[in-house]
Amino acid sequence: MKKILVHERFKEDWIQVLTHIANLFFEDSKLCESIDNPDLSVHFQYKIENNVYSTACQLEVDGKTYVCTYSKEYDTDGTEREQNIRMKRALSHVLLDVLEQYTGIKQQWGILTGIRPTKLYHKFRKEGLSRDEIRAVLKKDFRVSDEKISLLESIVERQLATIPDLDEIGNEVSIYIGVPFCPTKCAYCTFPAYAIAPNRKTGRVATFLDALHIEMREIGKWLKENNMKVTSVYWGGGTPTSIEAEEMDALYQTMYESFPNPENIREITVEAGRPDTITLEKLEVLKKWGIDRISVNPQSYTDETLKAIGRHHSVQETIDKFWLARNSGMNNINMDLIIGLPNEGIEEFQHSLDETEKIMPESLTVHTLSFKRASEMTRNKEKYKVADRATVSRMMEMAQEWTRENGYHPYYLYRQKNILGNLENVGYSKPGDESIYNIVIMEEVQTIIGIGCGAASKFVNPETGAITQYYNPKEPFQYIASFEGAIEKKIEMLDQLYGVELKK
């Protein structure tokens, strides 16, 4: 842990933001006003005068001093909340600069530590800024590199081509349905994913499914009564194809009976991410209900890596199940690769790209490994040897080069805390095969109603963009015990958000 002495008395939320900046450079940091034997010592100066926010930072370490100053003028006084955000950005700016000077590490995303940098780009776009003006702001005030700005520009362009009514889509909703079962739980995973016995009889799975049917019907009833259009439906988890084919069939029947005008839903996706859950019978069920967008996720094309991360399928099974799905009529297949998995470097990732080229799915999502707090990999970090910053950066460059050469375009992006190399996760697709759901959830442009275990609902005010969240329980037994109350709460929140004006 890097102990950093901050000589000023700051608000707690300021310390949190500055800690995020320090953690871009050091694996773990602690910023304190009083600390014994600090590794670094930082002095700040700051003031607001005539809407000009001025900051200065002096870093002292190993007998050397690093200095940076910064100021920005705003057109308005701003609310108290806006003033606080402005000052945190200004302080982040100077701290980032002195730490870059000290470490020699250039942060490509600048002071941006949030999940959704594309959302910031859309904010500036909707405020009327031109492409050049947005680039200038991101570069000067947020210190984002030209390379990352160009990536954001490409993504926003694809999003607007995929969903021309992106700015008005808040008058519709999308739906996420969580099925919390998997064959095994991957070492890096923190999603609701409970091992499902291969030969299980009745029990929590059947009881959970009974509750899920009820929740779909009740939410569907509200949607119909309020003339609410559904943009997209995403079946996730867990792995929704972990359950039996007849159970899947019954769920999709309930979906089609419950949701309004299912024939007009723009996209339905089913995560079939674990190849060991895919069967011909299940694929026939998907085809029966007109669902042809699925994920079949290799994560890696090295068998030793799959074993290390707890995936009980082989590389060959991934390939076989892809072609089984393709020959069964699945016309929009996504595949995931993860950069930085244990014991993988340039050679192994190049092999994964080479194998992907033999298959050419419609979309490829390239994730960078993140040490999520509750994952097995984080709890036992010493067991997992992962690539260094330079290696993971080169692997991301390889993914960018490969997708460009093979006709894929980036269309959505998100970042995570504790992500290797301070990089990102990027979804690439062939033109016309972008996932609508992935765009709307990442840009938070419309309400997402979460149904099922561990499902998060995001209620987005179509006028103000304000977001309220509600979480269903992650554990199946808790969900079964409380789903009726969750239905009532979500309907109450929907009523408050949309009122009676949508009702005829």
**pLDDT band at 379; cut points 50, 70, 90:** low
pLDDT given at position 9: 87
**Cβ-based burial of 487 (10 A; exposed 0-12, middle 13-18, buried ≥19):** buried
CA dist 270 → 27, 239, 364, 373, 388 (Å): 36, 9, 15, 27, 34
Residue 332 and residue 470 share a domain:
yes
Residue 186 and residue 78 share a domain:
no
Say whether pLDDT at 259 is over 50: yes
Tell how many helices (H) and how many strands (E) occur in the chain: 15, 18
Which residues, 6+ apart, have CB-to-CB distance to 325 below 8 Å? 272, 278, 283, 294, 296, 333
**pLDDT band at 1; cut points 50, 70, 90:** confident
Which CATH number covers residue 233? 3.30.750.200
Let me know: does 495 contact 468? Beta carbons within 8 Å: no
CA distance 160 to 155: 9
Is residue 501 in a domain?
Answer: no
Residue 290 and residue 364 share a domain:
yes
**Structural domain tally of the chain?**
2
Residue 101 and residue 22 share a domain:
yes
Is residue 504 in a domain?
Answer: no
Residue 310 and residue 436 share a domain:
yes
Say whether pLDDT at 189 is over 60: no
CB atoms within 10 A of CB 139: 15
Residue 355 and residue 268 share a domain:
yes
Residues 445-449, mean pLDDT to the nearest whole number:
98
pLDDT tens-digit readout, 303-331? 999 888 777 789 999 999 999 999 999 99
**pLDDT band at 423; cut points 50, 70, 90:** confident
SS3 of residue 64 by DSSP: strand
Residues 292-307, mean pLDDT to the nearest whole number:
91
Token pair belonging to 205: 């799975």
Residue after which a domain boundary falls, among 79, 106, 133: 106
Name the phi and psi angles at 56, rounded to 5: -145, 150
Report the sign of the C-alpha dihedral through residues 70, 74, 80, 85, in that order.
negative
Q: pTM of the prediction?
A: 0.91
Give the amino acid at 352.
S
pLDDT tens-digit readout, 109-135? 999 988 899 999 999 999 999 999 999
Residues 71-88, mean pLDDT to the nearest whole number:
94
Is residue 44 in a domain?
Answer: yes
Say whether pLDDT at 95 is over 60: yes
Let me know: does 311 contact 186? Beta carbons within 8 Å: yes
Residue 373 and residue 449 share a domain:
yes
Residue 243 and residue 94 share a domain:
no
pLDDT given at position 37: 87
Residues 219-230, mean pLDDT to the nearest whole number:
97
Is residue 219 in a domain?
Answer: yes
Residue 211 and residue 101 share a domain:
no
Is residue 133 in a domain?
Answer: no
Residue 177 and residue 32 share a domain:
no
DSSP E strands, 157-286 = 173-179, 181-182, 194-195, 230-237, 267-271
Is residue 160 in a domain?
Answer: no
pLDDT given at position 53: 97
**pLDDT band at 15; cut points 50, 70, 90:** very high
Residue 323 and residue 395 share a domain:
yes
Is residue 305 in a domain?
Answer: yes
| b/e 174-195 (16+ beta carbons within 10 angstroms → b) | bbbbbbbbbbbbbbbbbbbbbe
pLDDT given at position 387: 78
- Where helices occur in 360-498 by DSSP H, the ranges are 376-379, 389-405, 436-443, 476-498
CA distance 491 to 497: 10
pLDDT given at position 181: 87
Which CATH number covers residue 54? 3.30.160.100
Is residue 54 in a domain?
Answer: yes
Residue after which a domain boundary falls, among 62, 81, 106: 106
Residue 350 belongs to domain spanning: 169-494
Name which residue leads in pLDDT, 367 or 500.
367
pLDDT given at position 202: 47
SS3 of residue 52 by DSSP: strand
Residue after which a domain boundary falls, among 106, 132, 160: 106
Residue 386 and residue 247 share a domain:
yes
